[in-house]
Structure 1
Amino acid sequence: MKKFLIAAIVLLAALPARAQLFGGEDVINNPNFDMQRFSWGYFLGFNTYDFDFDYKDYIQGSNQGKDFHVDRTIGFNVGLIGNMRLSDHLDLRLEPGVSFNRINFIFNKSDPTDSFREINSTFVHIPLLLKFSTTRINNFKPFVVGGVSTSLNLSSNENNPEDNSDGQFRMTTNNFYYEIGFGIDLYLYYFKFTPSIRGVFAINDEFVRDDTPVFNSDNIEKMSSRAVFINFTFQ
């Protein structure tokens, strides 16, 4: 599914580029769009989340941590965009949104029934990003984007008195990330359409520990989430 979505973005970007570079198209859509100081829009998209583990004692060549299994699924993003033009090739963007996702997590593959946790997450995600663009070529303009973000995990269960012995996998509510990605602005007749792909990587430890023997977390130094966002923006 993820490969299909990436291929769709590449195809969407390649078709207008080929038409304009090799087809002799000279009709420029929205020629003054990027001259606006401020612009607004919204985005829809998909996501997939994973966990990354750091260990207190790492033994090279061991099976340490291989009992953990994460089954990634496809989630959904929706949100708004506020864009401030800083220069011809640099923009500052605020993209508050909501993302929904589910991770199927098994922390002991020798006992997959009792160690299975379905982790449903709803994030209020707020990135502040810098967008570096190339010079516009007819009706498209590639760019790279990077920045920092914070999120509020509404499904974290951080303050739930129940823990893994009761089947509750708990994560922190407030988290921080860095993000990096790329995309292409496509200037259509009535609006600007932008497919993009972005990696999102948590900075803080998101794992809420407990003292139950169900999940032996003594050797876990840090558990942080990471995600891939594929967004389609309309401005």
Structure 2
Amino acid sequence: MKKLLYIILLLLSITTYSQSKGIFSKNPILNLENFDKQRVHWGYFLGFNIYDFKIDYLDTPDVDIAVKRNTGFNVGLVGNLRLHEYIDLRFEPGLYYSQRNLTYSGFTKKLDAEREVRSTYIDFPLLVKFSSLRTGNIRPYLVGGVSATLNLASNSKSIDDNYQQRFRVKPWTQNYQIGFGVDLYLEYFKFSPSIRGVFGLNDELIRDNNPNSPWTGNIKSMQSRGIFVNFTFH
């Protein structure tokens, strides 16, 4: 809730600043009028994420595995290649910290029932940005594409498994992403708040050594999905 409050306060601050510069006025003075005509430009982003797991089962369980989501932090770079007046190709490598807590039913001990899944992702997305016609100092856009993600905290090389309280996932995953945002042309830079969904394409789970494990034996596939809220500065 605190991080969500920070996001709201940041957006309010940007909106107030934008209004003071006439961005939302009827006939604003155009800022950075030739910015989008650059063939290549660079930027960086900061933001927040909420990751979840989509879990499919071999047999329908009495009680699903409960996934508690936590708010994580994003930071990364942006490289933008102009392909057309309304189409750009973007590469946005970033570092994403997240945490999910899994709770299994059927255990009497908390040590067995709960698994804390911390992830440190390096994401390599290749995206296509479709922009609308610029109106004053505002330009909405849609963005989508694919990404490959390396999880530095996957525990994939560990020989221990859930019997030793070690939850393991694969180090590399593939995803598709889709979202929307808006470019705000301020006096000295372009600010772009956006929201994006990310959806895993492959099964991430590494099964326990025992095929009948109560933690992994009944799982057909486990895929990450999440929401990114990014604030990009160009």
TM-score by length of 1: 0.88
Q: Answer yes or no: is the 8 Å Cα contact 1:13–1:184 preserved in 2.
A: no
CA displacement 1:168-218 (0-9 Å, x = unmatched)? 000000110000000000000111000000000110100000144653433
Aligned-pair CA distance for 1:66: 3.1
- Partner SS, residue 170 of structure 2: coil
Q: Answer yes or no: is the 8 Å Cα contact 1:143–1:183 preserved in 2.
A: yes
Q: Which aligned pairs between 1:84-99 and structure 2 lie closer than 5 A?
A: 84-99=81-96
d(CA) in 1 for partners of 2:46 and 2:4?
Answer: 18
Q: Which residue of 1 aligns with 2:178?
A: 180
Aligned-pair CA distance for 1:6: 7.4
d(CA) in 2 for partners of 1:65 and 1:81?
Answer: 45
* Distance change in 2, residues 1:12/1:25 (3 Å): farther
d(CA) in 1 for partners of 2:62 and 2:43?
Answer: 42
2:41 to 34, 39, 42: 39
Aligned-pair CA distance for 1:110: 5.0
Q: Which aligned pairs between 1:44-83 and structure 2 lie closer than 5 A?
A: 44-58=46-60, 64=61, 66-83=63-80
d(CA) in 2 for partners of 1:197 and 1:160?
Answer: 35
d(CA) in 2 for partners of 1:115 and 1:177?
Answer: 29
Q: Which residue of 1 aligns with 2:227?
A: 228
Q: Which residue of 2 aligns with 1:61?
A: none
Q: Answer yes or no: is the 8 Å Cα contact 1:69–1:105 preserved in 2.
A: yes
Q: Answer yes or no: is the 8 Å Cα contact 1:164–1:215 preserved in 2.
A: no
Q: Answer yes or no: is the 8 Å Cα contact 2:28–2:137 preserved in 1.
A: no
d(CA) in 2 for partners of 1:84 and 1:118?
Answer: 39
* Distance change in 2, residues 1:215/1:29 (3 Å): same
* Distance change in 2, residues 1:162/1:35 (3 Å): same
Q: Answer yes or no: is the 8 Å Cα contact 1:30–1:188 preserved in 2.
A: yes
d(CA) in 2 for partners of 1:84 and 1:222?
Answer: 36
d(CA) in 1 for partners of 2:64 and 2:133?
Answer: 49
TM-score by length of 2: 0.89
- Partner SS, residue 75 of structure 1: strand
Runs of 4+ in 1 over 2 A off after TM superposition: 1-17, 23-26, 55-58, 64-67, 107-112, 211-219
Aligned-pair CA distance for 1:112: 6.2
- Number of residue pairs matched by the alignment: 229
2:31 to 29, 32, 35: 29
Aligned-pair CA distance for 1:154: 0.3
Aligned-pair CA distance for 1:102: 1.2
Aligned partner letter, 2:232: T
Question: Identity over aligned residues, as a percent?
Answer: 47
d(CA) in 2 for partners of 1:12 and 1:152?
Answer: 34
- Partner SS, residue 121 of structure 1: strand
Q: Which runs of 5+ in 1 are unaligned?
A: 59-63
d(CA) in 2 for partners of 1:223 and 1:110?
Answer: 21
Aligned-pair CA distance for 1:3: 6.4
CA displacement 1:75-103 (0-9 Å, x = unmatched)? 00000000000101100000001011111
d(CA) in 2 for partners of 1:4 and 1:144?
Answer: 25
